[in-house]
């Protein structure tokens, strides 16, 4: 008589449990940051997947995706409602592919972490060039698992979230050996991340971040460009000379045509010259129906010395995908121009040092921070502008991403925002100083210039994607092998007499 097999759970209760798992994952995201709940959510997801049919696993993945990404992407409604709906549909469909790719019970412990890593990797490049916001790694920014990012970036952290979930599910069904093995893997990789190389100090500079303050929740088209420049100038005028570097936020300066030789060039240059400092400001250059989003550096003599153009644009914020088609169904007046795409790594060569730059949305992309550091960036600047968002969700998510980039690269991150959060983040991922939202602020700190690399900076994501793919394939191969009892019966068939 064959052993009794567990019956598939009902589709409705399983989907409801998966939805709850997704909501627990969201609870780990900023601004909540309750990272242990995200691990519990991963555990529920792993438990619900057991004994599901292929269609059931797809339904479970979709329900978990709705719970996780629906709330996690709510910030997009503050940009464009149509963009939010489209993004959630696409992102949930991608997330659902992870659980759907997991085989039955056998091999699940290997397959679920591998599948979720592949999903996270794909989300970082598609659609719209990637929307890696509300990720499994971001649920762990305030917890110990984040230190593993020095070894494998956000993908390794995502894998550990899933491994912890599989381990918790195993402990829940009293599979003590499997649960203990999962815990041992998580602890070992966290400890390895803590002691991994993270670069070295080669000096220090005095840095000032200027936050002009002002109302939040305004659309870019409703916010006069002069307001950002005037607020930054007023705050900068109060500064005494002596700082090595002053950082203004994204969109602090807006010009028609090129900034070089414009009136704004002379205005900002005069401020840098008065302070005898390097001044880096976010600049928008408008050209008809297009614009450039730049970080521009002025030297202590007031001359423009370097510039970097943003590579990674915000979909439905800085450009509208399929504008002619989307325009038939949605009002696109809030995004009247599309940003041009910059090239090359974010690096500004200045008297204050070689400054890596990731502008605003780019902070969510580890590859942009890696490119800046590999090009020689000793400090990582994040000029950003979250003033369009009336809630704390996007500013909190952005600061969380900055913390991950600091851990991954071993660099100090200096973030400047017109209405917050402006912050200094150490190479250990800890926030050293942080502004309040909305209020004017001037943050000062002595910042380490650092060189060298972490294991993740050297390796990047490709090795972990390859390992995840091989692991998932191996899990499927394992699931297709007959269980040991069946192989034993096949190798030693019963004799006719024994069968009577």
Q: What is the domain partition of the chain in residue ranges?
A: 11-197, 200-453
Residue-wise pLDDT tens digits, 359-416: 999 999 999 999 999 999 999 999 999 888 899 999 999 999 999 999 999 999 999 9
Structure tokens at 157: 């952290």
> What does DSSP assign to residue 319?
B
**Which single residue is written with the structure tokens 């989003």?**
293
* pLDDT given for residue 480 in this prediction: 83
Pair 97, 117: CB distance under 8 Å: no
Q: Which of 146, 105, 80 is CA-nearest to residue 336?
A: 80
* pLDDT given for residue 1 in this prediction: 40
* pLDDT given for residue 10 in this prediction: 62
Structure tokens at 348: 């500004």
Q: Which of 129, 78, 124 is CA-nearest to residue 315?
A: 129
**CA-to-CA distance for 160 and 140, rounded, in angstroms?**
10
Torsion, CA 299, CA 304, CA 309, CA 315, rounded to 10: 90
**Which single residue is written with the structure tokens 């992407």?**
73
For strands 379-383 and 353-357, give the pairing. Answer: parallel
Those residues whose C-beta lies under 8 Å from the C-beta of residue 322, and which sit 6 or more positions away, are none
CATH of 200-453, one of 1.10.540.10, 1.10.3300.10, 3.60.110.10, 3.40.640.10: 3.60.110.10
For 217-249, the DSSP string reads: S--GGGS-HHHHHHHHHHHHHTPPTT-SEEEPP
Residue-wise pLDDT tens digits, 175-210: 999 999 999 999 999 999 999 999 999 999 999 999
Q: What is the b/e burial string over 35-47, where b = at least 16 CB atoms within 10 angstroms of the residue's CB?
A: bebbbbbbbbbbb
Pair 43, 87: CB distance under 8 Å: no
CA distances to 74, 237, 326, 448 from 81, in Å? 9, 40, 12, 42
Give the 3-state secondary structure of residue 153. Answer: helix
Considering only the C-alpha atoms of the chain, give the largest distance between any 2 of them, rounded to a whole number of Å.
103
Residue ranges in the chain whose pLDDT is less than 70: 1-11, 219-226, 483-500
For strands 245-247 and 253-256, give the pairing. Answer: unpaired
> What does DSSP assign to residue 436?
P
Find the helix or strand (DSSP H, E) in which 297 lies.
strand 290-298
Structure tokens at 110: 């290997």
**CA-to-CA distance for 46 and 162, rounded, in angstroms?**
8
* Cα-based angle 468, 473, 474 (whole degrees, multiple of 5): 95
**CA-to-CA distance for 9 and 279, rounded, in angstroms?**
61
Q: What are phi and psi of 477, to 5 degrees?
A: -65, -40
For 5-19, the DSSP string reads: -PPPPPHHHHHHHHH
**CA-to-CA distance for 95 and 25, rounded, in angstroms?**
13
**CA-to-CA distance for 394 and 314, rounded, in angstroms?**
13
Pair 420, 436: CB distance under 8 Å: yes
User: Using CB atoms within 10 A of its CB, is residue 85 exposed (0-12), middle (13-18) or buried (19+)?
Assistant: middle
């Amino acid at each position: 008589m064959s052993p009794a097999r567990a019956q598939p759970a009902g589709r409705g209760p399983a989907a409801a449990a998966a939805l709850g798992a997704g909501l627990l994952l969201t609870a780990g995201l900023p601004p909540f940051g309750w990272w242990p709940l995200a691990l519990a959510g991963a555990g529920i997801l792993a438990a619900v997947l057991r004994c599901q049919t292929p269609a059931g696993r797809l339904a479970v993945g979709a329900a978990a995706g709705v719970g996780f990404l629906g709330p996690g992407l709510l910030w997009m409604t503050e940009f464009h409602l149509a963009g939010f709906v489209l993004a959630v549909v696409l992102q949930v469909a991608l997330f659902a592919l992870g659980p759907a790719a997991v085989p039955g019970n056998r091999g699940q412990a290997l397959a679920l972490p591998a599948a979720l890593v592949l999903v996270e990797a794909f989300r970082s490049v598609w659609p719209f060039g990637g929307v890696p916001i509300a990720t499994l790694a971001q649920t762990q920014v305030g917890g110990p698992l984040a230190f593993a990012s020095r070894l494998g970036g956000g993908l390794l952290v995502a894998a550990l979230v899933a491994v912890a979930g599989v381990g918790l599910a195993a402990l829940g069904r009293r599979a003590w050996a499997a649960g203990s093995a999962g815990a041992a893997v998580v602890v070992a990789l966290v400890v390895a991340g803590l002691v991994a190389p993270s670069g070295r100090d080669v000096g220090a500079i005095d840095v000032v971040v200027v936050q002009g303050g002002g109302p939040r929740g305004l659309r870019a088209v409703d916010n006069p460009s002069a307001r950002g420049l005037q607020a930054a100038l007023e705050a900068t005028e109060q500064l005494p000379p002596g700082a090595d570097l002053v950082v203004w936020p994204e969109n602090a300066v807006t010009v028609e045509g090129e900034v070089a030789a414009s009136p704004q060039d002379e205005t900002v240059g005069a401020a840098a010259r008065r302070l005898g400092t390097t001044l880096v400001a976010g600049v928008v250059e408008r050209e008809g129906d297009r614009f450039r989003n730049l970080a521009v550096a002025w030297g202590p003599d007031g001359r423009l010395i370097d510039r970097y153009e943003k590579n990674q644009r915000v979909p439905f914020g800085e450009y509208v995908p399929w504008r002619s088609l989307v325009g038939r169904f949605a009002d696109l007046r809030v995004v009247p121009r599309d940003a041009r795409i910059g090239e090359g790594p974010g690096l500004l060569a200045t008297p204050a040092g070689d400054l890596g730059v990731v502008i605003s949305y780019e902070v969510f992309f580890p590859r942009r921070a890696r490119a800046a550091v590999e090009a020689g960036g000793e400090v990582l600047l994040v000029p950003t502008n979250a003033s369009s968002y009336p809630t704390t969700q996007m500013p909190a998510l952005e600061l969380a991403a900055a913390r991950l980039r600091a851990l991954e690269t071993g660099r100090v991150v200096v973030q400047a925002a017109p209405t917050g959060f402006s912050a200094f983040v150490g190479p250990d991922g800890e926030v050293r100083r942080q502004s309040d939202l909305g209020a004017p602020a001037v943050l000062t700190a002595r910042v380490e210039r650092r060189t060298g690399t972490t294991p993740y900076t050297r390796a990047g994501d490709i090795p972990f994607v390859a390992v995840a793919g091989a692991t998932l394939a191996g899990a499927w191969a394992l699931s297709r092998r007959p269980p040991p009892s069946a192989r034993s019966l096949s190798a030693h068939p019963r004799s006719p007499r024994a069968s009577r």
